[in-house]
Amino acid sequence: MKKIPIIAIVVGVVLVLSLLALKMKTLAASKIHQVQVSEPVFAKSKDAPAGFDALLKSAVALGSQGELVKARDALRSIMAAYISSPGIGDVQKRLEDLNMKIMLSAINLADETTTREVAAGDSLSMIADEYHTTAEFIKKQNGLSSDVIRPGQRLRIWTGKFSVLIDKSQNLLVLKSNGEVVKSFRVSTGKSNITPVGNFKIINKLVKPTWAHDGKVIPPESPENILGTRWLGFNISGYGIHGTTQPESIGQQATAGCVRMLNNEVEELYDILPVNTEVTIID
């Protein structure tokens, strides 16, 4: 029998907990358990439960027809119902890709988007602050190549509240919107389990950060600067999420306590997350 992808198990469990939390908020703190897994796979398989392949094909067909929200909801249902099934890793990847596509589309969602008409004197940064988002994320949603906006222009704004869950035992970072899983990332956490556990907030953000180490200030361009291309600092001194010059370390407990990501992935996260985003770290 095929092994189950651990990243799919973790994200699937988080998804199930998010759904149950609508009825039972006390389940929000439930622990994510480790299961041995292999790489994500999907194929029509004798090991797959009855109905799994048909449901997935239906969800894929909805996406191909442009019914992105219906396809997303169908994939969420599969994740919840078939979390221990072979092929669930493929479902998870499809769901995450679809989540990102919807976030960056023109689709309006009652609980997660609004439309804002630009008024005289407005700027992207002002509008971003108004909706607790980022100017870069507004630009991506609306296909803007610069910060220039015009009175009367209508902007689509994602209003879902973002949060981050980091599971040290899995070296996994999960991005959520309104409590629903959006996307997951492999990360590195602290050696010997030293990354702190608890609830934190992002309080500062830096592009191409300098690194202060052993009394020296190491510039962003230096190969000795291990912070990579982005920094999202927590409200606990010296800790945060950052990029890397050591991509081979991702997925391991290898840092001095921070959460390390691939540069392209931390750049994606940086553009989405505003200051004051809540971050929860668990063992």
Which one from 33, 132, 213, 242 is the annotated catalytic residue? 242
C-alpha to C-alpha distance for 181 and 260, rounded to whole angstroms:
20
Angle at 153 between CA 148 and CA 154, to 5 degrees: 120
Task: Give yes or no: 33 in active site.
Answer: no
Contacts of 82 (CB under 8 A, 6+ apart): 49, 52, 88, 91
Cβ–Cβ < 8 Å for 131, 142: no
C-alpha to C-alpha distance for 89 and 68, rounded to whole angstroms:
19
SS3 106: coil
C-alpha to C-alpha distance for 36 and 33, rounded to whole angstroms:
10
The strand pairing partners of 162, in sequence order, are 177
Residue 237 is which amino acid? S
What are residue 182's phi and psi, to 5 degrees?
-105, -55
C-alpha to C-alpha distance for 55 and 91, rounded to whole angstroms:
10
Task: Give yes or no: 132 in active site.
Answer: no
Which one from 33, 132, 213, 258 is the annotated catalytic residue? 258
Cβ atoms < 10 Å from Cβ of 130 = 11
SS3 204: strand
What are residue 160's phi and psi, to 5 degrees?
-60, 140
Contacts of 91 (CB under 8 A, 6+ apart): 8, 42, 56, 75, 78, 79, 82
**Would you name the residues annotated as active-site residues?**
242, 258
